Structure 1
Amino acid sequence: MELWIPITIAAAFLQNVRSAMQKHLKGVMGTTGATFVRFGFGFPFALLFVAVLHFGFGMALPAWHGTFLIWAVIGGIAQIAGTQLLVYLFSFRNFTVGTAYSRTEPAQAALFGLVFLGETVSIGSLFAIAISVVGVMLLSVAHSAVTWKNLFTSVLSRTALIGLASGTGFGIAAVAYRAASLSLGGPNFMMQAAVTLAFVIVLQTVLMLVWMVLREPAELRRVAAAWKPSLVVGLAGASASFGWFMAMTLQQAAYVKVLAQVEIIFTIASSVFIFRETIKRLEIVGTLLIVAGVVVLVLLT
């Protein structure tokens, strides 16, 4: 098994933990605050990862340069936008539709990888992506009347469009992070990923902090009041991001993001075994299709 596969699965699990905590925080603070905690409470851990690799394992620090800075800034801003849109979806009663469509990120990442990096995706991998996207579409209509009209018009709903925009932000960020990490050229994929993560998350923290001081100062008080759960979000988020960055340094972003759909399995497991929620038949079918797409991808890479 290639190393990027278990790294991605671990990152997907940690991201599920972070998302669950972030959804909880949305009840005590606004969209901006719930987005900020991912970065503001994550950057100390990101810096710690770099310190451990450098001082603990003797890995050299790669030098920054123009190409790295450009891609890292693009990725950082795109991720903020994608995260804010995703957190904003929690405000909607039917946020499931939007969240499902945000998972079209692998297909969008494949497109952006082709446009920006000239990366090609095999026919088999495109088939795997298509299977997962169909699974996402089924998830989006699992709680409504299942008709062909609903299946395709769901794409035009407000929450779906917000979800698609969120997926675009994440897709651009994934490709930009891969480009930034690869541009460092060494000493190895772990340090390249750690340095990229540290730069990006500090940048995101500063940008969002300035925004809140100038535009939403009340959010700072809400964030400070919820520092304990926010710390958990920061740790889980930084650890998940470190996993994503390592995986995307080793493999194309589109492939990593398709495998990352296994997060849905963790999400449904949490719903059933922790929150005792009922899962509809179409959700099971959609999840199985997403898993099938992941299996096809793994078998072909």
Structure 2
Amino acid sequence: MESWVLFALAATAFQTVRFMLQKVLATKDLSAGGATFSRFVFSAPVVWIAAVLILPAWPVLGSKFWAFAVAGGVTQILATVCTVMLFQSRNFAVGITLKKTEVLLTVLVGIVILGEGVTWPGFAAMVLGVVGVLLLSDPPKVEGRGLRGLLMNRAVVLGLTSGVFFGVSAVTYRGATLEVSDEPMMRALVALAFVLAIQVAALGFWLLIREPGEITRVARAWPRAMWIGLTSLGGSLCWFTAFTLENAGYVFAVGQLEVIFSLLASVYFFHETVTRREGIGIGLIFLSVVVLIVVT
């Protein structure tokens, strides 16, 4: 099995654990911005310490590194904000379903920004995976008729926007790692260190201006929030390493297994049952990933 697949699977596992921790450790003391900030602020010091201790010298950064790193860091924050806003919308389920088309959106963004396409068999496998995800999501109907009703639906706009932003962040993260002159793991570590620094600075400044006192509340919540930050760190490092090795669209397609991991976690921990529809969705996603591994 290709190493990028293993890193994508590890990233997916870390991300599933993080979501479970967020569900268990979530606190009403933090705003959406504060909860997002905790992901970055508790990860950044660990990454920087690791970089200083492991790297004998800082590698050379390409001319496009900072443009890619800033674009990736900012669009990831914006994507997260859009996702949080979805939960404030009456039709948030519609938006969440559309957000899950981010794999196909990532392919389009990759063509535009990096000029990286995918093979037709690979694209077909991605579509198969998206169909499986949609079956698991049980997509609801959109209120309003016709294209105008679709475009005027707040949840639809937020869902697609978040998908595009996540796609841009993945592709530009790959672009940033390719601008670092080192082997894959070190390229991922360096890119992640600078991206986290950008995110802590940008979101921290925003919270200071718009939500005074929120950073203090994040600091007080450290016994719980740090575990979210550490699992987020494990996932981010694995995602970045996978991005150094393969097209971001392929990596995100393997990452769709997160839906299955989350479902299995719900079955195991909360003793929920799997419906026939969900079983078909699981099968399609597994088939999608197997085809991707074979054709790439």
TM-score by length of 2: 0.89
Residue 210 in structure 1 maps to residue 205 in structure 2: yes
**1:177 pairs with one of 152, 166, 173:** 173
**1:86 pairs with one of 83, 86, 94:** 83
How far does residue 52 in structure 1 lie from its aligned partner after superposition? Answer: 4.1
SS at match of 1:247: helix
Unaligned runs of 5+ in 2: none
Residue 43 in structure 1 maps to residue 44 in structure 2: yes
- Residues 150-161 of structure 1 aligned to structure 2 (within 5 Å): 158-161=154-157
The CA distance in 2 between the partners of 1:17 and 1:126, in whole Å, is: 28
Letter in 1 for 2:36: T
**2:118 pairs with one of 116, 121, 136:** 121
**1:138 pairs with one of 135, 139, 143:** 135
Residue 200 in structure 1 maps to residue 201 in structure 2: no
Unaligned runs of 5+ in 1: none
Deviates more, 1:95-104 or 1:30-39: 95-104
Q: Is the 8 A contact 1:189 1:246 kept in 2?
A: yes
Deviates more, 1:130-139 or 1:228-237: 130-139
Change over 3 Å in CA distance of 1:280–1:92 after alignment to 2: farther
Residue of structure 1 equivalent to 2:15: 15
SS at match of 2:116: coil
**1:283 pairs with one of 278, 283, 286:** 278
Offset from partner CA, 1:90-133 (integer Å, 9 cap, x none): 45677554334322222111111111111121010110111112
Q: Is the 8 A contact 1:189 1:250 kept in 2?
A: yes
SS at match of 1:66: coil
Letter in 2 for 1:138: L
Change over 3 Å in CA distance of 1:220–1:199 after alignment to 2: same
Letter in 2 for 1:248: F
The CA distance in 2 between the partners of 1:90 and 1:113, in whole Å, is: 28
The CA distance in 1 between the partners of 2:89 and 2:277, in whole Å, is: 21
Residue of structure 1 equivalent to 2:269: 274
Residue of structure 2 equivalent to 1:74: 71
Change over 3 Å in CA distance of 1:160–1:13 after alignment to 2: farther
The CA distance in 2 between the partners of 1:298 and 1:96, in whole Å, is: 31
State the number of aligned residues: 289
**2:249 pairs with one of 246, 254, 265:** 254
TM-score by length of 1: 0.87
Residue of structure 2 equivalent to 1:296: 291
Change over 3 Å in CA distance of 1:241–1:108 after alignment to 2: same
Offset from partner CA, 1:62-103 (integer Å, 9 cap, x none): 123431011110111011111222233445677554334322
Q: Is the 8 A contact 2:42 2:226 kept in 1?
A: yes
Deviates more, 1:208-217 or 1:88-97: 88-97
Residue of structure 2 equivalent to 1:107: 104
Change over 3 Å in CA distance of 1:221–1:187 after alignment to 2: closer
Q: Is the 8 A contact 2:97 2:159 kept in 1?
A: yes
SS at match of 1:277: coil
How far does residue 170 in structure 1 lie from its aligned partner after superposition? Answer: 1.1
Q: Percent identity?
A: 40
Change over 3 Å in CA distance of 1:3–1:154 after alignment to 2: farther
Change over 3 Å in CA distance of 1:168–1:193 after alignment to 2: same
Residue of structure 1 equivalent to 2:60: 63
Q: Is the 8 A contact 2:125 2:288 kept in 1?
A: yes
The CA distance in 2 between the partners of 1:193 and 1:156, in whole Å, is: 40
The CA distance in 1 between the partners of 2:86 and 2:210, in whole Å, is: 21
Q: Is the 8 A contact 2:174 2:243 kept in 1?
A: yes
How far does residue 51 in structure 1 lie from its aligned partner after superposition? Answer: 2.9
Change over 3 Å in CA distance of 1:155–1:266 after alignment to 2: farther
**1:166 pairs with one of 162, 169, 172:** 162
SS at match of 2:58: coil
